[in-house]
Structure 1
Amino acid sequence: MSLYPLKFTPILKERLWGGTKLKDVLHKPSTSDITGESWELSAVKGDVSIVENGPFAGTSLQELINLHKGKLLGDAVYKRFGTDFPILIKFIDAKQDLSIQLHPNDKLAKERHDSFGKTEMWYVMDADPGAKLIVGFNKEVTKGEYQDSLAQNTLLDLLNYEEVAKGDTFFINTGKIHAIGGGVLLAEIQQTSDVTYRVFDFNRKDKNGQLRELHTDLALDAIDYTKKDDFKVDYPREKDLTHKMVHCPYFKTDVLSLTKDMTRDIANRDSFTILMCVEGAASVETEFGAVVLNKGETTLVPALTKTLTLKTTASTLLEVTI
């Protein structure tokens, strides 16, 4: 049975800070008023995506990788990662502020959690007026100053706030303290990892009335205390072209803002291709089959695909490869 563009059943996650935009705006099958995340493509243990379209419907992503290896992943990707799928794709709806957090690098994550680190990027799909993200510190901070701020409940005074609008894009490398603010709907592309160090949570309590766990000690040696302005991504906005957005060792993301059809030769890519529709709708057509992507939908195009045609009159797509 030949591979084809695959769509997966969303894995929905209730979160303290979640809302209803995943249901109301992106039409996810949620019945909750606190759905914070829709995991679109995941090989995280316990949360492995299941195909929902075509002959492979009901098959897990991991089963497909084990069976098809380089044909699905790309030979170079398979050589590097084996049967571990390296990318986790999400849509996130923050009705309230997320906790202040950071992620360890590959070395720490491997030593402590037998996991990849968690480098990630955000593409803002929608933002309420005045909505903000927290990204990094607003000045150079020492470990001691950081510890004092936790003890004195003044951490928020050290953080950098960025007001955001639709289309804004941010690159969050490991060690960078960050949080998504209330009123933001975004697409997240990251390494396959669910390792997060939470360092401040506004003293909120969970549904059982308990304060959520903080990871104060684990975070101390994982934080980058320097002030850096390397997080906001400046990318061209011209229509009907492919524009580089974020290219890092863990993933490459380009943006395509289309007003007409586009056909591309991807025979030499040697990687799977993920397409996330963040605005409008498009038909994704290959020599092995086609899928329609509406806003908030994602497809995995197998590496053996040679030609990719996007049929649309108005859409914005994020294209992710390795």
Structure 2
Amino acid sequence: MKLKKHLVDKPWGRTDISAEFGNMSGRRVGEIWYSADTETPLPILVKWLFTSERLSIQVHPDDAQAQERGMPSGKEECWYVVDAEPGAVIGIGTKRPLSGEELYAASLSGEIEGLIDWKKVSAGDYFYIPAGTVHAIGAGISLVEVQQYADITYRLYDYGRDRELHLDDGVAVSSATPYADARSGQASLGTQLVDGPYFQLWHVRDMGDVPAFPHSGNVWIIPLSGQVQTDGGGAGKGECIVASDKAKIAFSSDATALVAF
């Protein structure tokens, strides 16, 4: 089935999003969520993000930490950069290990901006963000985010915007250390980007690049170019399909996609 789009306005969003994503009617859209009309949420959530300003410096809890706080699960995610303006950066991890007290004080004072490890990015870069990683997405970036189906974010710092911070919880769940996750780099077609505890992610030109389907029987297809056809219809860039492992799936000759399960 083709998942429904949900547009989310953000202060850091954009008004110049491509018509491939539909009519935005002058809205400042920062996120597009893709979900199904089911009582039980699907285990994987796919989003597109579009930034004109830096996002807040934030952190997500793991499952145990989220459940201690009354939430069903934590959040781990992977970012795939589709487009980035020259000089665009993403902040992941800190330049040096910080204690909880140092992280709290730096978040209050704003010093955290200089302690985050800001990395220059370009199209095709990808980063897996484990729970507890202090992170922020910079301006001028369009990316696909594949994540656990959870909406739980603790903001540590927001550049003076008038939004709530969550310093106590955020510091408690943070591992403020340099980023060193091997599930990152420049993606190549036909390769697996993530083999994680919550999902696997591939960058493919057709389903022949994926050697095995998941035990759950469902696969998420996020076209980046061209068209993908399944038993339930077709999809292009700006859309997302969930298909059974029994479905017939065909890629156009110019198609590339992210495939998650």
Using structure 2 for the length normalisation, give the TM-score: 0.91
* Structure 1 residue 9 corresponds to structure 2 residue 12: no
* Structure 1 residue 300 corresponds to structure 2 residue 248: no
Matched residue, 1:52: none
* Worse-superposed segment, 135-144 or 266-275: 266-275
* Structure 1 residue 144 corresponds to structure 2 residue 138: no
Matched residue, 2:178: 227
| C-alpha separation in 2, matches of 1:263 and 1:195 | 33
**Could you give the per-residue CA deviations for residues 115-168 of structure 1, whole angstroms, max 9, x where no partner exists?**
210000100011111111111101121222222323432111111011111110
| C-alpha separation in 2, matches of 1:172 and 1:101 | 12
Give % identity: 29
Q: 2:193 aligns with which of 239, 245, 248?
A: 245
* Structure 1 residue 26 corresponds to structure 2 residue 3: no
* Structure 1 residue 318 corresponds to structure 2 residue 258: yes
**Could you give the per-residue CA deviations for residues 40-61 of structure 1, whole angstroms, max 9, x where no partner exists?**
12xxxxxxx3xxxxxxxxxx23
CA contact (8 A) 1:142 1:225 kept: yes
Report the number of matched residues.
Answer: 261
| C-alpha separation in 1, matches of 2:19 and 2:70 | 35
Using structure 1 for the length normalisation, give the TM-score: 0.75
**What runs of 5+ residues in structure 2 fail to find an aligned partner?**
none
* Structure 1 residue 39 corresponds to structure 2 residue 16: no
| C-alpha separation in 2, matches of 1:226 and 1:266 | 35
For the structure 1 residues 153 and 312, does the alpha-carbon distance in structure 2 shift closer, same or farther, using more than 3 Å as the test? Answer: same
The amino acid that maps onto 2:57 is I
**Could you give the per-residue CA deviations for residues 187-243 of structure 1, whole angstroms, max 9, x where no partner exists?**
000111111000110002xxxxxx1000011112100022232166136625xxx31
The amino acid that maps onto 1:24 is S
Q: 2:202 aligns with which of 254, 257, 272?
A: 254
Matched residue, 1:175: 132
CA contact (8 A) 1:124 1:185 kept: yes
For the structure 1 residues 232 and 266, does the alpha-carbon distance in structure 2 shift closer, same or farther, using more than 3 Å as the test? Answer: closer
Larger radius of gyration: 1
- TM superposition shift of 1:107: 0.7
| C-alpha separation in 1, matches of 2:187 and 2:104 | 40
| C-alpha separation in 1, matches of 2:233 and 2:138 | 33
**What runs of 5+ residues in structure 1 fail to find an aligned partner?**
1-5, 42-48, 50-59, 63-82, 205-210
CA contact (8 A) 1:253 1:318 kept: yes
1:4-153 alignment runs, 5 A limit: 6-21=1-16, 23-24=17-18, 26-41=20-35, 49=36, 60-62=37-39, 83-153=40-110
| C-alpha separation in 2, matches of 1:141 and 1:103 | 17
For the structure 1 residues 15 and 231, does the alpha-carbon distance in structure 2 shift closer, same or farther, using more than 3 Å as the test? Answer: farther
| C-alpha separation in 2, matches of 1:216 and 1:108 | 15
RMSD of Structure 2 on Structure 1 (CA): 2.2
| C-alpha separation in 1, matches of 2:141 and 2:63 | 28
Q: 2:223 aligns with which of 277, 281, 300?
A: 277
| C-alpha separation in 1, matches of 2:173 and 2:181 | 18
For the structure 1 residues 84 and 12, does the alpha-carbon distance in structure 2 shift closer, same or farther, using more than 3 Å as the test? Answer: closer
The amino acid that maps onto 1:243 is T
**Could you give the per-residue CA deviations for residues 227-286 of structure 1, whole angstroms, max 9, x where no partner exists?**
232166136625xxx31111111011111035xx959786774421000012x212323x
- TM superposition shift of 1:84: 4.6
Matched residue, 1:166: 123
